[in-house]
Amino acid sequence: MKTPLIIAGMLFFSFSVISCDKLEKVKEKLSQNDSGQVNPFSANSGDVNRDIISFNNKVVKMDDEQSDFIKDFQNILIQMEDYVKNAGANPKASGIMPIFTPSVMLYTRQELKAPDVLGKNFQTLVDKMKDTMIRLESLKKELDTYKQAEDWKDDKGKKVTEINEKAIQLIKENRTAANDLFTKLSPRANKAEIEMLKDHPLKTQIIQSKEVMELAQKIIDDSYDVADMNVYKNKFSHQYEQMEKLYKRNINEKIPSSEKQKENSYQAFNSSVNDFLGKMRIVQRSLNENSQDLNRDLDNLEREAGYVLDRYNTFVD
């Protein structure tokens, strides 16, 4: 986790703009168990619910990729500004030069068409996300060239400031488009999923487990958006109580005998949630004690949230 509790350096805008609400982590294979004659490779397969869920899952993957890129680029910009300042003040002890990790834009560069049932507005928002990200990637390459040529020795860091200002605007546009898209898409995707699950023997377990998984993701997202530590402590405590309640509800919901093959993956998911609760208690103690280990503990919590998501996907597969 990259400095979740500190808004530092040049990037002065709120992490609430940066951190994406990843509330739609549904496994795409949920939409692939239909026996109807449809084309699963088409944005308009003939099955409206399938099309909405498939589009939703593709957008989620793209958004995850873009969010990771943004966080990485932010860190590089902050490190680059610090390095240039130190190099100017003391050339012999300028510190460690930032390392530029390779950009991976698999989903962003793939064609992504919104199904006709959703309307053109959704395609406009997807295109906005893709366009702003490609322009951000170009800025990152420009910054890398600037670093390699050591041009800060001539312009005293002016180029870093210019790139940062452009990045702030593009990131804001990208996150606004993402938030608008998910605000519009989430209700439609939820409705489509419920419709597809209405006759599923594990409907209750899947829907409840999804709620647990989504809360775990939201808890991590919220750790990137801290303006007041006391407010965050109270919020985190409330989220723990909420997660514990959902966990107890889940373990009390048994797998029917007709679906025993899913019992192990369901138990594994619930076990991962229990582990997540344990990591939450560690974070809670660090918050209460103002511990220097808080960021490390939040790192561990984020890692545990990844396991919750993985176990959820295995269960619904």
- CATH number of residue 291's parent domain: 1.20.120
Same domain? 209 vs 167: no
Are 220 and 153 members of one domain? no
What domain range is 156 assigned to? 15-199
**CA dist., res. 125 & res. 105, Å (int):** 18
Nearest partner of 234 among 284, 195, 196, judged by Cα: 284
**Could you tell me which of 304, 286, 303, 307 has the C-alpha nearest to residue 295?**
286
Task: Among 166, 199, 232, identify where a domain stops.
Answer: 199
How many Cα atoms are found within 13 Å in the side-chain-facing hemisphere of 35?
0
pTM, to two decimals: 0.70
Among 171, 199, 227, the domain-final residue is: 199
CA distances from residue 10 to 17, 89, 139, 312 in whole angstroms, order as listed: 15, 18, 16, 38
What is the per-residue pLDDT for 174? 96
Which regions in the chain score pLDDT beneath 70?
A: 1-45, 92-94
Please report the pLDDT score of residue 212 as a whole number.
Answer: 96
Handedness of CA 217, 220, 225, 227 (dihedral sign): positive
Q: What is the mean pLDDT of the chain?
A: 84
Contact partners, residue 125, CB within 8 Å, separation at least 6:
177, 178, 180, 181, 184
- Write down which residue in 199, 229, 248 finishes a domain: 199
The answer to whether the beta carbons of residues 101 and 69 sit under 8 Å apart is no
Domain annotation covers residue 9: no
Does 163 reside within a domain?
A: yes
Does residue 30 belong to any structural domain of this protein?
A: yes
Q: What is the pLDDT of residue 22?
A: 38
The pLDDT score that the predictor gives to residue 3 is 25
Q: Specify burial of residue 261 (Cβ count, 10 A radius: 0-12, 13-18, 19+).
A: exposed
Query: Do 227 and 173 lie in a common domain?
Result: no
pLDDT at residue number 14 = 28
292 lies in some domain: yes
28 inside domain: yes
Rounded distance between C-alpha atoms, residue 147 and residue 149, angstroms: 5
Closest CA to 185 of 234, 115, 91: 115
Q: Are residues 122 and 258 in the same domain?
A: no
**Tokens 């608008």, residue?**
180
